[in-house]
Amino acid sequence: MVQFYSPNRRSVNRSIISVTADNLDAQGQGIARHQGKTIFIPGLLPGEQAQVQLTEEKRQFAKAKVVKRLSDSPLRVNPRCPHFKMCGGCQQQHAAPELQVKTKASVLEHLIQRETGISISAQPVIHSPEYGYRRRARLGLQYHDKQGKLVMGFRQSQTNDLVDIRHCPVMRPELEKLLQPLSLCLSSLKVAKRLGHVELVLADNGPLVVLRHLAPIKHEDKEMLRDFARQYQVVIYLAGDEKSLEALSPEIGQFEPWYQVDGLKLVFSPQDFIQVNDEVNQKMVAQALSWLDVQPEDRILDLFCGMGNFTLPIAVKAKAVVGVEGVAALVASGQYNARLNGLSNVTFFHENLESDIRQQPWAAQGFNKVLLDPARAGAAGVMSHIVKLAPEKVVYVSCNPTTLARDSKVLLEAGYHLVSVRMLDMFPHTGHLESMALFSR
């Protein structure tokens, strides 16, 4: 076989070198310098010295693994999870919470300063419980023919293999205690080889399980699942595809999962997106309401509104609120919840905010304040329209600091001021960085 030379192909020097980490990145990797090159090293904390071996080398940076740690930081702690280092779900359980929070806030501040030229503090942070915060989790399912075993768990870092999860201390305890018995139950099903994944969700009125299956589930398997549901007081839903659900617990009546936010009751479908961290969500909504300074005469626009997590609490205080969302099921949930909570001043639109919005019906209306909560890709398609609306205040909730910094420039160039930024500790022990920013005209 002919092999062609690639000028980008670089051989990696596998020799062992000694380095000292001087910082962390948002993913929890130690950052060290060696011969003028930045090296990223998983598992190494600032101030720690280690012998490391390069695993990847680029022109500007390299990656390495720890061969032997020579010193320990006072901010190194013992991970609570027995699967840490194998499971790819958490990357930072070895770092003290105060170091994690400080690092993420610093990364956010750096990105905003680099992209906008504005130096601003991301403090005070909206804090989370260190463990037991996750009220929703999706676990993969893989059947191993050789062992005759179904593995239920999260993916290992940088592989498609699953770690067989028996404990997960970042989950709410009500969900964590289901892991072992649920794994045993699913392993005993006749359809075990044809299961896709399972989702555990904790609503305010109880836990539920959504089982994705790739083949029909026969009567005998359904009876086993019903027995599990009765024994562990959960509601089980079967998802034969991404749209249809079959509830397996008819004896409990018409179960509707719901959660509360700002005193309102929000009913959701088991497949609807809800914020994973309830405590941070409550604080985040309260902060948004405070920043918007909602008044009885306000007309407020909520873009990428989901099922109304912000929209409905805003509607309690404003004259009128319009929510725009691209997922039809979430729009339906928002409309249902508006009626449920007696809010008649809310209008939801199902529109694609990544397409040309000029002809969308909501775009012809006027608003004096705007909130937006886009996905990781950000909100490039709507920023110019927000500027045209000329709202007094804009609150931007972000799950990606890079796109937040990028979109901020549109508002700043239009004469808005970046008043405040806060880092949200939505996902402790992970590299996910959530934030929110307030702009004023």
Assigned domain for 235 exists: yes
Assigned domain for 193 exists: yes
Q: Please tell me whether residues 429 and 305 are part of one structural domain.
A: yes
Assigned domain for 95 exists: no
Q: Please tell me whether residues 191 and 315 are part of one structural domain.
A: no
The residues near 330 (Cβ < 8 Å, ≥ 6 apart) are 272, 273, 305, 306, 307
The CATH number of the domain where 44 resides is what?
A: 2.40.50.140
The reply, when asked if residue 90 is annotated as ligand binding, is yes
Average pLDDT on 121-127 reads 94
pLDDT for 235 equals 95
Q: Please tell me whether residues 250 and 333 are part of one structural domain.
A: no
pLDDT for 6 equals 46
Assigned domain for 79 exists: no
pLDDT for 12 equals 65
For residue 156, the 8-state DSSP code is: B
Assigned domain for 409 exists: yes
**C-beta separation of 101 from 423 below 8 A:** yes
Residue 185 annotated among the catalytic residues of the structure: no
The CATH number of the domain where 398 resides is what?
A: 3.40.50.150
The CATH number of the domain where 164 resides is what?
A: 2.40.50.1070
Q: Please tell me whether residues 190 and 326 are part of one structural domain.
A: no
pLDDT for 158 equals 77
* Catalytic option among 162, 238, 371, 399: 399
pLDDT for 241 equals 76
pLDDT(191) > 90: yes
Lowest average pLDDT, out of 114-118, 252-256, 273-277, goes to 252-256
Q: Please tell me whether residues 323 and 209 are part of one structural domain.
A: no
The reply, when asked if residue 305 is annotated as ligand binding, is no
Q: Please tell me whether residues 393 and 286 are part of one structural domain.
A: yes
In 298-345, the DSSP E strands lie at 299-303, 320-325
pLDDT(417) > 60: yes
Beta bridge partners of 150: 143
The reply, when asked if residue 87 is annotated as ligand binding, is yes
Alpha-carbon span 300 to 293, nearest angstrom = 11
pLDDT for 1 equals 41
User: What's the pLDDT tens digit per position in 264-309?
Assistant: 999 999 989 999 999 999 999 999 999 999 999 999 999 999 999 9
Q: Please tell me whether residues 114 and 143 are part of one structural domain.
A: no
Q: Please tell me whether residues 297 and 352 are part of one structural domain.
A: yes
Domain total for the chain? 3
Q: Which of 258, 291, 317 is the last residue of a domain?
A: 258
In 276-411, the DSSP E strands lie at 299-303, 320-325, 346-350, 369-372, 393-398
Which burial class, exposed, middle or buried, applies to 30 when counting CB atoms under 10 A from its CB (0-12, 13-18, 19+)?
buried
pLDDT for 403 equals 96
Assigned domain for 2 exists: no
pLDDT for 254 equals 65
Q: Please tell me whether residues 121 and 140 are part of one structural domain.
A: no
Q: Please tell me whether residues 283 and 248 are part of one structural domain.
A: no
Q: Which of 226, 258, 290 is the last residue of a domain?
A: 258
Alpha-carbon span 6 to 189, nearest angstrom = 50
Alpha-carbon span 309 to 268, nearest angstrom = 11
Q: What are phi and psi of 397, to 5 degrees?
A: -100, 130
Q: Please tell me whether residues 286 and 419 are part of one structural domain.
A: yes
Q: Residue 38 belongs to what domain range?
A: 16-71
Q: Please tell me whether residues 20 and 113 are part of one structural domain.
A: no
Alpha-carbon span 278 to 284, nearest angstrom = 10
User: What's the pLDDT tens digit per position in 192-238?
Assistant: 999 999 999 999 999 999 999 999 999 999 999 999 999 999 999 99
Nearest to 40 by CA among 59, 58, 61, 70: 61
Q: Which of 193, 227, 258 is the last residue of a domain?
A: 258
